[in-house]
Structure 1
Amino acid sequence: MAPEDGTFAAEVAAAMRAELPSVAARTVAAIVVEVPSYTEAFSGPMGRKIENAVQMALGAFLELATATGGADASRPIAPAIEGAYALGRGEARTGRSMDALLAAYRVGARVAWRHMSETAVAAGMPAGSLAHFAELVFAYIDQLSAASASGHADHLATSGRVRRRHLERLAELLLAGAPPYELHPVAERADWTPPRTLTAVLLPEERARDALAVLDARTLQAGEDLPGAEPSAERAVLLVPDAEGFARAALLRSLARREAVVGPARPWQDARSSYSRALRALQLGLEPDGDVPVDTELRLADLVLRADGEALADLRAQVLAPLDDLGPGPREKLLETLRSWLLHHGRREQVATELFVHPQTVRYRMGQLRDLFGARLDDPQTVLELTLALGVR
């Protein structure tokens, strides 16, 4: 007969140990039926390996439960813990959720307990010992579940960090203009499918997280060391996939109120070109206008005219020299009239409408300008130079 103090009699332990292969097979069969995620995974040779693993785990439990010296069967021995931890990591690697694994543990505990308890009772285990045995079984399973959950979480955390680092590295290589043979392996390691195009977006770092939440999930974010950027800029760089055509309007809407500067869409391997354009716009002082982001595609003339600030200043000084002797007030009025006259191709009514003045006022001012510039106002080269000089306010 088994003792009443909760320990296992030798004949009870032997009977349960003899049933381990059968219990393991029934446990796996029940999991396959009740947890569909494992139907394919537990078939064939893999199913036999899992049966062996279940049998070893139950054997480790029996070893603890029947040990002398007061061993606590609710605390699995190291190999069992390590095996459960590795199982959790493996499940995360295959893409199965922790919910599926915990469900498998619950089914396994129930089936194993039912069959092992039947064997124990048949071998003579009394009711008092049976209750203690139940506590040990479920405490043991809890320990294994916790170890597997830890392994699952650790793998996800590690793989997530590694993937994020690969994605950051890919963004850095793109911004640096790396050749395709360097880009493709990193994209593969990051599990990132290249899009048709990438569009660079520069925005304050504190707004990057909110922006990422509404952008394409494949959007890349570069690290802190950005090529060509000022160290104090504190700007984040996002590379947004496939934001050309109609999708660009949606991108601009999603970036409203985020102080963003948006480069052009470029083939994904040429993302550096988009980044350079956006960075140049920022460096040239093209700041967002209120809630509206800077769309560099609509500011190409500004970018061209501001490309060489010193040359533009020299051009202005040279071509506008006839106005140098005027006072600030008269000079400014003639400048705005000349700018409007150039842009409207001399159409007096349109110039008057834009400046909110009478057409006769436009005639008078243009007479003054012709006195100052003479025949040069009819010279195409002078008209070109004046247009460039007055194109940026």
Structure 2
Amino acid sequence: MTEGPLAEPLSLTPEQVTALRGRLPRVGEKVVAAVIAEVPSYSVPFQGRMGRTIEGAVTLALSGFLDMAVNSAASGTSGTRERPQQVFDAAYALGRGEARSGRTMDALTAAYRIGTATAWREMSRTAVSHGLPAEGLVRFAELVFDYLDQISAVSVAGHADELARTGRLRERHLSELAVALLAGREKERLEQLAEQAEWNAPASLTAVLLPQSAARATRPLLDPRTLELAGDVEALDGWPDHAVLLVPGRSRAAVLRSLGEVPGVVGPTVPWTAASRSFHRALRALELGLAAESQALVDTETRLAELVVRADPSAHEDLRAQVLAPLADARPAAAEKLTETLRAWLLHQGRRDDIAEALFVHPQTVRYRMGQLREIFGDRLEDPSFVRDATIALS
């Protein structure tokens, strides 16, 4: 970092400069004491050895000011460029350190404000007591406050830069954790990534797949620990307009309430290290078009049978053909009606009136068709294995 330019040099006598330099250590003590008293965030950190270190830094900063404010011939000093640069570098590092410590820019700027006022009060008294005239005092004040404003601005910049850097770094770590969770990495690796990302792992996670626009609107309503992946993500290959959210929640019901009516697919709630299982089930439901069919939130826990039946479409088709093979010789229209009747008979467990109501036909019609089916299928209608296969095939 480099310092901003000061205006015209301040004319101080060698005696005044000597008096000001001799006063600087005491000014540093008073600045630290004032900050401790008035800025709660620093009441503990500035005690003891840390306080003495800060006193030295204040003294260095004010000495740098004198180097910059007084021409080297009048002040009798050397290294006028190196010391101010050292001061500004230290101020920048201070801002970064404060960000890493978790303290805000408000605390830092308050400390500078109080420190500047204290330093000016002490230095102006010394300067006046050694003959600095009124017009010189005004110029002195301008230079002091301008210089310390510059130092404050450099520290604030360091603070902001560190927050941005650590924020980007943490976002990258969180993204790496989310990718590893979807990939089903081993528990030890997931715990390592969670610690690296400073992510407080919940007991469980629920995978939610939804359009990116819906994800942006929904994210603020969810647990702050929610992990998100969107865009060009290998796990979402084929769904570039979708995002995956890994949502913590004590209960599945709470997660569903938070999501509301957003269009998307919700996987099962699983232990957080098993999040890939929730993701892959939700992805399968998305691939099967369950979300497109409903245009609303799809809870896979209520659609398990469909997911099982549709898991292998070709196998399902083969099973259906195998179960209905005895109807191959029937006329298409007759085969269709008998298939509908067989399906209703399986679902309603042979209750004739319920079957008739489901098919919108008379119970006698049901009796007639079931007679036909018994002639065609014979004892197979009493075989539990066939009943199982037929129920799945006609689902």
TM-score by length of 1: 0.89
Q: Determine the structure 2 residue equivalent to 1:126.
A: 133
Equivalence for 1:260:
264
Report the Cα distance in structure 1 between the residues aligned to 2:212 and 2:331, rounded to whole angstroms. 45
Question: Which has the higher mean CA deviation after the structures are superposed, 325-334 or 41-50?
Answer: 325-334
Q: What is aligned with 1:194?
A: 201
Q: What residue number does 2:158 align with?
A: 151
Question: What amino acid maps onto 2:201 in structure 1?
Answer: P
The separation in 2 between residues aligned to 1:226 and 1:233, in whole angstroms, is: 8
Distance 2:239 2:277 in 1: 22
Counterpart among 380, 384, 387 of residue 380 in structure 1: 384
Q: Is the 8 A contact 1:261 1:282 kept in 2?
A: yes
Q: Deviations over 1:68-109 (max 9, x none)?
A: 599xx9xx9322211111111011110010000000011011
SS at structure 2 position matched to 1:346: coil
Q: Is the 8 A contact 2:207 2:267 kept in 1?
A: yes
- 1:1-393 superposed matches below 5 A: 6-67=10-71, 77-222=84-229, 226=233, 229-243=236-250, 247-287=251-291, 290=294, 292-324=296-328, 330-391=334-395
Q: Structure 1: give runs of 5+ residues left out of the alignment.
A: none
Q: Say if 1:119 and 1:356 are closer, same or farther in 2 by CA, change over 3 A.
A: farther
Q: Distance in 2 between matches of 1:208 and 1:326?
A: 52
Residue 37 of structure 1 and its aligned partner are, at CA, apart by 0.7
- Whether the 8 Å contact between 1:277 and 1:296 is mirrored in structure 2 is yes
Whether the 8 Å CA contact 1:113–1:134 is kept in 2: the answer is yes
For the structure 1 residues 17 and 342, does the alpha-carbon distance in structure 2 shift closer, same or farther, using more than 3 Å as the test?
same
Checking the alignment, whether the CA contact within 8 Å between 2:116 and 2:148 is kept in structure 1 is yes
Measured after TM superposition, the shift of residue 291 of structure 1 is 5.4
Change (3 A) 1:251 1:329: farther
* More moved, 89-98 vs 135-144: 135-144
Q: Which moved more, 1:259-268 or 1:47-56?
A: 259-268
Deviation at residue 52 of structure 1 after TM alignment: 0.4
Matched residue type, 1:19: R
Q: How far 1:241 moved relative to its partner?
A: 2.0
CA separation of 1:145 and 1:356: change in aligned 2, threshold 3 A:
farther
Following TM superposition, by how much is the alpha carbon of 1:188 offset from its aligned partner in structure 2, in angstroms? 1.1
Q: For residue 4 of structure 2, what is the aligned residue in structure 1? A: none
- Count residues with an aligned counterpart: 382
Does the 8 Å contact 1:170/1:186 carry over to 2?
Answer: yes
Deviations 1:162-206 (A, max 9, x none): 111111111111222222232222211111122222222222223
The 8 Å contact of residues 256 and 291 in structure 1, kept in 2 or not, is answered as: no
Question: Shift in Å at residue 294 of structure 1?
Answer: 1.9
Distance 2:143 2:297 in 1: 64
The one-letter code sitting in structure 2 at the alignment partner of 1:312 is H
C-alpha separation in 1, matches of 2:359 and 2:16? 104
1:297 and 1:288, CA in 2 relative to 1: closer, same or farther beyond 3 A?
farther
How far does the alpha carbon of each residue in 1:26-73 deviate from its partner, in whole angstroms, 9 at most, with x for none?
A: 111011111111000100100000000011111111111112599xx9
Alpha-carbon distance, 1:120 to partner: 0.8
CA distance change for structure 1 residues 15 and 369 in 2, over 3 Å: closer, same or farther? Answer: same
Measured after TM superposition, the shift of residue 331 of structure 1 is: 4.5
Q: Whole-Å Cα distance in 1 between the matches of residues 235 and 127 of structure 2?
A: 74
Q: Which moved more, 1:371-380 or 1:36-45?
A: 371-380
User: Matched residues in 1 for 2:67 and 2:294: separation?
Assistant: 72
Mapped partners of 1:332, 1:213: distance in 2:
51
Secondary structure of 2:267's counterpart equals: strand
Q: How far apart are the structure 2 equivalents of 1:331 and 1:18?
A: 109
Distance 2:45 2:335 in 1: 83
Amino acid at match of 1:345: Q
* Structure 2: segments with no counterpart, 5+ residues: 1-8, 75-79
2:230 and 2:240 in contact (8 A); partners too: no
**Worse-superposed segment, 207-216 or 86-95:** 207-216
Q: Percent identity?
A: 55
Give the Cα separation in 1 of the matches to 2:235 and 2:106. 47
Decide whether the 8 Å contact of 1:257 with 1:293 is kept in 2. yes
Contact (CA 8 Å) 2:374, 2:381: kept in 1 or not? Answer: yes
CA distance in 1, matches of 2:240, 2:345: 39
Partner AA of 1:344 in structure 2: H
- 2-side partners of 1:132 and 1:150: how far apart? 27
Q: Is the 8 A contact 1:197 1:241 kept in 2?
A: yes
Q: Distance in 2 between matches of 1:372 and 1:229?
A: 48
Residue range with higher mean Cα deviation, 280-289 or 189-198: 280-289
Q: 1:116 to 1:389 in 2, by over 3 A?
A: same
Deviates more, 1:306-315 or 1:364-373: 364-373
